[in-house]
Amino acid sequence: MIEHLRLISQATAKDRQALVIVDRAGWHMTKAIRCFSNVTLLPLPPYSPELNPVEQLWQQIKQSFVKYHI
């Protein structure tokens, strides 16, 4: 995660701020990853899978698996 944020920080213009939306996984919330002054982390609210697009993908995969494999 730190390496990914480092790349985002380097790709962001000096006078700009990058906004990265994260879920509340433990590694997204540690102080160690908040060391880039031009990258702001915006955590999603707790218990809000509808705001996290990957959760919708997992739901579709689960439905397809159940439909075709059980």
How many separate domains does the chain show?
1
R_g of the chain, CA atoms, integer Å: 16
Answer whether 39's CB lies under 8 Å from 18's CB: yes
> How confident is the model at residue 33, as a pLDDT?
73
Output the tens digit of pLDDT for each of the chain's 70 residues: 888 899 999 999 999 999 998 887 777 677 767 788 999 988 888 888 788 888 888 888 988 887 777 5
> How confident is the model at residue 55, as a pLDDT?
83
User: Cα–Cα distances in Å, from 14 out to 34, 40, 65, 66?
Assistant: 17, 14, 46, 49
Domain, as residue range, for 7:
2-69
Note the pTM of the prediction, 2 decimals.
0.64
